[in-house]
Chain A
């Protein structure tokens, strides 16, 4: 387990706003690490600090187990917010400057231009590009010479559905090559689709972090009712996948830790001689889940 990025108690305040508050987390080699949080939760500020763009008020971080330096940044490919290039230079020229700063030769430029589908437009000026193409050029520059870690801040922001699908496919492909990825996003769905690990931020605070399938586990709820809810409740609590049960208006809302079909649950209850008067499966959307997670921490 090689630690790529380790953040310790990092804080940044802008006037009255605590943008990032005592944040600690670790990114391990091979992870696709999502930083998930609503707008203004401190994702960009966090990434800005670990990339030396923003000076932290307090706290520290290390890259590849070492004190951060320009040399460690040369091993990182990053796209922060908007793509930043010289408008009057061609795509290729812009990438040459990136390569030069990172001490690479130009041999990998054509490959990343092909990967991002910009090769045909390589000699066109950056300012003539559409937004999606600019975004892809930023990705191309980040992919130059296969970095040890790829950092993407809202990489699909402002893209059309086709562009979004393309970029996601590309990210997954990069991940399969073994490159560690940090992805900041306010889209739960995106994190769920792409990431292996996630840290959830709200107002600069870390709510929780861990493997995606644990943190964002989808639990189905089932509404149940019978003539005697007390007995029903006891029976459900004995179910091997039982997680929680609450009662409101004579209806029990049961949550299970793994997917449980309504059919199997009614069979399970039948065996215990309980006849149901009400049985409805209620899928909770991921968004609901995410919003609830955020709500829990608010005073």
Chain B
């Protein structure tokens, strides 16, 4: 608790922290509003060619809302914001050299790592918590009695989202400790998430390559796949098959293994390197 108190003392008065958190929720809200608009446009388009029109998609009904909102909250472009916060909070300690002061003042190196892991855990919990409350409120507003009876049917997606957030923030924690430089770490992390990995993914998947499933094990892809598809009943009816019903334990375990390995590497290197 002492370590977390110290971290909060560093974080709460930090303007940049609030700005990036604000941006995250702003992008998320925009994404969700646009998503509903786009899905409905698709349904309208399909309806032009169908004798019996499909109903408009409702993203915010229980139990679909759990899956839909966690899906939009975990697409690459949105997920990157909390990761940037973690990178900034950690690399700041190196660029301001406050890590040295912390150690000199009587923190052990392990405690320093632990305090940053607590920040990661706290951020993942708080963001998942806020999202859960938003989903609950939106769901209640949009629900009839029938959907209310299924209120917790797809709740596993909230847990899945928490695992996504936690593991992805652990990746950010790793890159920040290894590179120690704010600009470099953010640039590389963003580049990897948004460009490098999708390119690798594309080549591994492409049919002209040998048959393989390697692409599903790429670190960021493994995180994204925990909540892989949204749940949109109208489209389900149209395509006549179900994309994803629940969060699987296997899909959670892959990024968690990555995260554990990364934390171990940080422990080993940070304890050996000069500060």
Residues in A lying within 8 Å of B, measured CB to CB = 48, 51-55, 69-71, 73-74, 76, 78, 80, 82, 84-89, 93, 96-98, 100-103, 141
Contact = CB atoms under 8 A, between A and B. Distances in A.
Given A54-B274, A100-B2, A101-B105, 8 more contacts: A53-B104, A70-B107, A74-B106, A84-B97, A85-B101, A101-B6, A101-B107, A103-B106
Interface in B70-111: 92, 96-98, 100-109, 111
Given A86-B96, A97-B10, A80 B5 contact: no
Give the most central of B98, B100, B106, B108: most A CB within 10 Å. Answer: B106
A88 B13 contact: yes
B96 A87 contact: yes
Contacts of B106: 70-71, 73-74, 76, 101-103
A87 B101 CA distance: 14
The 6 tightest CB contacts between A and B, nearest first, are: A74-B106, A84-B97, A73-B106, A84-B101, A70-B108, A101-B105
A73 B108 CA distance: 9
Interface string B193-214: 0000000000000000000000
A103 B274 CA distance: 25
Contact of A53 (B14, B96, B275): B275
A53 B100 contact: yes
A53 B107 contact: no
B103 A100 contact: no
27 contacts: A51-B103, A52-B103, A53-B274, A54-B275, A55-B272, A70-B106, A70-B107, A70-B111, A73-B105, A84-B101, A85-B98, A86-B92, A86-B98, A88-B13, A88-B15, A89-B13, A93-B9, A97-B9, A97-B10, A98-B105, A100-B5, A100-B6, A100-B9, A101-B6, A101-B106, A101-B107, A103-B106
A293 to B, nearest CB: 30
Contacts of A141: 101, 105
Contacts of B237: none
Please classify the interface of chain B as helix (H, G, I), strand (E, B), loop, or mixed, using the class held by over half of its residues: helix
B10 A89 contact: yes
Contacts of A97: 6, 9-10
A84 B105 contact: no
B13 A74 contact: no
B273 A86 contact: no
Contacts of B10: 86, 89, 97
A80 B9 CA distance: 23
Contacts of B5: 100
Contacts of A88: 13-15
